Amino acid sequence: MKSLRTPDAQFENLYQYDFLPNYLTVSGADGTPLRMHYLDEGPRDGEPVLCLHGQPSWSYLYRKMIPLLTAAGYRVLAPDLIGFGKSDKPTEMDDYSYSGHVAWLNDWLTKMDLTGLTLVCQDWGGLIGLRVATDQIDRFKRIVVGNTGLPGTAMLTDEMSAFMEQMYASVPMPNTDMVREAFQSGGPGAFLYWVKYASESPDFSVRDVFKLLSGIQDDRILDGYVAPFPDDRYIAGARKFPALVPLLPKHKDERLANDRAWAVLEAFKGRTLIAFSDGDPVTKGGDAIFKARIPGAESVMIKDAGHFLQEDAPEAFSNAIIDFMKKD
């Protein structure tokens, strides 16, 4: 497996991102050592909060929330998933798999040997983080899910999966406008436009993804999000993520693995908070699945926020987490 490491110069003087880097080596299924970057802020004796990002963001996503959480006395850890941020980036899309991401993060967590954790996860941070949490559930005290999902066989039967595969074949090569229109329509095949755009479009752009899924207008912030990707050699992981959502028949093993994770979540003795935003076109309605399957969970709706609720409503999301943690 070949990988690239984004030059440090790319991260100099980033807007609102003044954190010290930390690194740990993890190994993939083939044993390839890869350097994973993570932030570790706040008092070392504070309760640890593990914040996981999704696609195509990195720990920069939590830059506004970290000072709020550390000021409340918590230790905040925010790793960059392999392929993102300051972490190493395998160069081929085939280097990335759902279970591979789970293995990398499991290795990081085992080596960090953290306990008493509160997981905060969004987007792919949830799909991966919830699998890792249920693999090592004794390390976790609380779980906060926001704008994410965990597709299993109850949500996607074999028949539905086969239908999705047929639909995907009929999706034209989309641009960002077509993806936006598909999400706005709310149709059952909307996400397939996103998958095809990310994995197949020659015009895929990380900057355009943030323009599509957020209201960010400040070029300084957009520059921060695209800093890890100086050119297209670095974006294989970002391109592959949507295609790894286990929708199609070839993903059956991952849906079964998610079923096993759901069983652990449903039996979790700790506390769970469901904190979705009110303006996310990608995961709209997904909170209902978590509420139905974890009836003892608490819930809050983060107002006036889109897909990246950490960016759009950092104070409201942070305060919801802090209030939730203080109830113990």
Residues recognised as catalytic: 123, 280, 307
Q: Which residues of 170-193 are buried (b: 16+ CB within 10 A; e: fewer)?
A: ebeebebebbbebbeeeeebbbbb
CA distances from 23 to 19, 82, 108, 128 (A): 13, 12, 10, 20
What does the DSSP assignment read for 18-33?
A: ----EEEEEE-TT--E
Strand 33-41 relative to strand 117-122, pairing: unpaired
Q: Which residues of 265-277 are buried (b: 16+ CB within 10 A; e: fewer)?
A: beebeebbbbbbb
Report residue 244 CA to chain centroid gap. Answer: 12
CA distances from 295 to 93, 248, 268, 287 (A): 38, 28, 12, 12
Could you give the residue ranges of the DSSP H alpha helices within 227-294? 236-244, 252-267, 286-293
Torsion sign across C-alpha atoms 317, 320, 326, 328: negative
